[in-house]
Amino acid sequence: MKAIKMAENIYRVGANIENGDLFEGMWPIPDGVSLNAYVLTGLKTALIDLVRDWDNAPDELTKQIDELGIKKFDYLILNHIEPDHTGWLNGFLRKHPDTKILTTKKGAAMIEGFYHVTENVSVVKSGDTLDLGKGIELVFEEIPNVHWPETMVTYEKSSGILFACDAFGSYGSISEKVFDDQLSEEEHAFYDRESLRYYANIVGSFSVFVQRAVAKLADLEIKMIAPSHGIIWRENPSEIINRYLKFASYMNGPAEPEITIVWGSMYGNTKEVLTSIIEGIRSEGVVVHVHQTPDEDVSWALASAWKSRGLVLGMPTYEYKMFPPMSAVIDMFERKHINNKKVLRFGSYGWSGGAQKEFDKITEGLKWDCMEPVEWQGRAKEEDHKKAYESGKALAKAIKEM
């Protein structure tokens, strides 16, 4: 990649992570993820955000910085300390030992914790400014809990660029076409999907704070949004802001009039009934997303569930409890605040059942409106298929009225 000019004396530098690693050690990124950093060259030089020592990202960043002819940085501005943006800090400081780090108070404590760095660290707070010369003036604004407590954004006044770090980000590598106005409809559709998955996986639990952050930034004249993952919004920055507000609104509902099914089956007896439920849902013309576990990672089911009003969870009873892979899905849904859903559970049992009892107990605090489950012993009979069809249809009808 090359450094990309965004405005006079302001550049995007960075790297794509495409080595097959999991993001945060747990989320699949089959189409990669970009780590974006930003170089500002006033009379003083600044680098906003950094990279992790990951898939040659530091070498890539260094190459682009060298191409810009920059020998030293006066400032390293760290909006967020999660190691995908700071993991290379000790290596960077060996190359640029005189750089002053600017971050929030909580950020400074994390830098000491993660990297044992305490010298040359200055704390900034909301409203503080930094004049780099040549008309480049930065303003800092704390946006706590989007998605870590130390997080801030940096706004450049003359260009109207908001360096937003994780806020407004997305999974997916980026090409040298980094701006929204350079992408095809298909490419936009890809980042739309991957921004939802990123949001549901990483940011969703903090949706209240996303809403607060957007309200806090409302007075800024934002002409460009430059996140630390994904594309840069130059033509239409309000699109990604509105998209994030829409995603945030799903937490308390209502979400989209769609249904997500997550299912797992041991010998195919639960799987057989899935078709009847889907037919019932489709008879009402409702969009349905289907995810199988443990075959598919929960990352995608989370994204679908986040935006759906209705959930169908299919699992057999396994040793008096839920089929363990589905138990793990529900545990993740609880952790990631998949709240306020209309829910149907279905599944087979071998002798006495028990999955429903555990399901009821575990989902008690989730604000789920659960329908009567569809359960049967062994292989479903015609009447069980009929009940499954009718339950799918009833769920679809209900979510259309929410």
- Residues near ligand FEO (CB under 6 A) are 80, 82, 84-85, 147, 166, 228-229
Whole-number minimum distance, CB 350 to ligand FEO, in Å? 44
What is the C-alpha R_g of the chain?
24
Two tokens, residue 388: 């499954």
Q: Which is nearer to ligand FEO, 84 or 258 (CB)?
A: 84
Two tokens, residue 142: 């704390």
Whole-number minimum distance, CB 165 to ligand FEO, in Å? 7
Whole-number minimum distance, CB 147 to ligand FEO, in Å? 6
From the list 225, 231, 243, 215, the residue with the least C-alpha distance to 79 is: 225
Whole-number minimum distance, CB 294 to ligand FEO, in Å? 26
From the list 267, 300, 158, 155, the residue with the least C-alpha distance to 220 is: 155
Q: Which is nearer to ligand FEO, 82 or 258 (CB)?
A: 82
Whole-number minimum distance, CB 153 to ligand FEO, in Å? 13
Q: Which is nearer to ligand FEO, 240 or 259 (CB)?
A: 240
d(CA 5, CA 176): 11
The residue count for the chain: 402
d(CA 394, CA 371): 9
Whole-number minimum distance, CB 83 to ligand FEO, in Å? 8
d(CA 21, CA 371): 39
d(CA 396, CA 331): 24
Q: Which is nearer to ligand FEO, 110 or 217 (CB)?
A: 110
Matching residue, tokens 């995603």: 247
Q: Which residue is nearest to ligand FEO (CB)?
A: 82
Whole-number minimum distance, CB 85 to ligand FEO, in Å? 6
Strands 152-156 and 161-165, sheet pairing: antiparallel
Whole-number minimum distance, CB 228 to ligand FEO, in Å? 5
Two tokens, residue 228: 């630390």
d(CA 79, CA 147): 11
Q: Which is nearer to ligand FEO, 81 or 399 (CB)?
A: 81
Q: Which is nearer to ligand FEO, 229 or 387 (CB)?
A: 229
Whole-number minimum distance, CB 84 to ligand FEO, in Å? 4
Q: Which is nearer to ligand FEO, 229 or 385 (CB)?
A: 229
Q: Which is nearer to ligand FEO, 92 or 318 (CB)?
A: 92
Matching residue, tokens 């209900």: 398
Q: How many CA atoms lie within 13 A of 207 on its CB side?
A: 24
Task: Please answer whether residues 34 and 173 qualify as being in contact, where contact means their C-beta atoms are separated by less than 8 angstroms.
Answer: yes
d(CA 196, CA 202): 10
Q: Which is nearer to ligand FEO, 191 or 389 (CB)?
A: 191
What's the farthest any 2 CA atoms get from each other in the chain?
Answer: 78
